[in-house]
Structure 1
Amino acid sequence: MRVLVLLFFAIFALAGELKIASFNTENLFDAVENGSEYKDFKNGRWSKFEYEKKLKSTSNLIKQIDADIIALQEIENENVLKDLAKISGYEYYKFATLDAKSPFGLGFLSKIAIKDSQKFIVKDVKTRPILSIDVEFDGKIMKLFCVHFPAKKNGIKKQKTAADALKSAIFQQKNTVVLGDFNSEFGYKFLLKDFSTFKNAWDLVAKFDRKSHVSGRAIDHIIYSPDLVVKSDSFKTKKSSSSDHLSLEAIIMQK
Structure 2
Amino acid sequence: MKLNFFKSKRKRHCIAFYNIENLFDVYDDELTRDSDMTPNSEKKWSIKRYNNKLRKIGYVISNIGKKDVNRHPAIVGLAEIENEAVLKDLVNSKHLKAYNYDFVHYDSPDERGIDVALLYDESVFKVAYSKSYTLDLVDDLGVVDLTRDILLVSGLFEGLELHVLVNHWPSRRSGDVETEYKRMKASQKVTEIITELKEKNSEAKIIVMGDFNDDPSSKSIKSLELSHGLFNPMRTLLSRDRGTTSHNQRWNLFDQVLITHNFFERKKNALRFVNANIFDEDFLKERDSKYKGSPYRTYVGKRYKGGYSDHFPVYLILSKK
Superposition TM-score, scaled by structure 2 size: 0.68
Q: 2:193 aligns with which of 166, 169, 178?
A: 169
- Amino acid paired to 1:184: D
Partner SS for 2:279: strand
Q: Is the 8 A contact 1:146 1:180 kept in 2?
A: yes
Q: 2:136 aligns with which of 123, 130, 142?
A: 123
Distance (whole Å) between structure 1 residues aligned to residue 111 and residue 240 of structure 2: 39
Change in Cα spacing, 1:99 to 1:207, as seen in structure 2 (3 Å) is closer
- 1:7 is aligned to none
1:1-255, aligned counterparts within 5 Å? 17-35=12-30, 36-42=32-38, 44=40, 45-65=44-64, 66-87=72-93, 88=96, 89-99=99-109, 102-111=112-121, 112-124=125-137, 125-154=145-174, 155-171=179-195, 173=198, 174-187=204-217, 189-194=218-223, 195-196=225-226, 197-203=229-235, 205=237, 207-208=239-240, 210-215=242-247, 216-229=251-264, 230-232=273-275, 234-238=276-280, 240=284, 241-253=307-319
Gaps of 5+ in 2: 1-7, 65-71, 138-144, 199-203, 265-272, 285-306
Deviates more, 1:85-94 or 1:216-225: 85-94
Distance (whole Å) between structure 2 residues aligned to residue 56 and residue 33 of structure 1: 22
Q: Structure 1 residue 209: deviation in Å?
A: 6.0
Q: Is the 8 A contact 1:152 1:159 kept in 2?
A: no
- 1:3 is aligned to none
1:178-202: CA deviation from partner (whole Å, max 9, x where unpaired): 1110000121x24120332001121
- Amino acid paired to 1:129: D
Q: Structure 1 residue 56: deviation in Å?
A: 0.8
- Amino acid paired to 1:199: F
- 2:302 is aligned to none
Partner SS for 1:227: helix
Partner SS for 1:34: coil
Partner SS for 1:244: coil
Q: Is the 8 A contact 1:15 1:254 kept in 2?
A: no
Distance (whole Å) between structure 2 residues aligned to residue 177 and residue 209 of structure 1: 27
- Amino acid paired to 2:151: L
Partner SS for 1:159: helix
Distance (whole Å) between structure 2 residues aligned to residue 34 and residue 123 of structure 1: 23
Q: Structure 1 residue 160: deviation in Å?
A: 1.2
> Equivalent pairs: percent with the same residue?
23
Instruction: Give the aligned length.
Output: 241
Q: Is the 8 A contact 2:39 2:46 kept in 1?
A: no
1:33-55: CA deviation from partner (whole Å, max 9, x where unpaired): 11324443135221111111111
Partner SS for 1:46: coil
Change in Cα spacing, 1:53 to 1:165, as seen in structure 2 (3 Å) is same
- Amino acid paired to 2:181: K
1:47-97: CA deviation from partner (whole Å, max 9, x where unpaired): 111111111111110111220000000000011111111221343201123
Change in Cα spacing, 1:16 to 1:38, as seen in structure 2 (3 Å) is same
Distance (whole Å) between structure 1 residues aligned to residue 10 and residue 60 of structure 2: 27
Gaps of 5+ in 1: 1-12
Indicate the RMSD between aligned Cα atoms, in angstroms.
2.5
1:149-190: CA deviation from partner (whole Å, max 9, x where unpaired): 000235112121111111111126421001110000121x24
Distance (whole Å) between structure 2 residues aligned to residue 14 and residue 218 of structure 1: 27
Change in Cα spacing, 1:119 to 1:192, as seen in structure 2 (3 Å) is same
Q: Is the 8 A contact 2:231 2:260 kept in 1?
A: yes
Partner SS for 2:192: helix
1:213-238: CA deviation from partner (whole Å, max 9, x where unpaired): 13311111100001014313x53323
Q: Structure 1 residue 106: deviation in Å?
A: 1.0
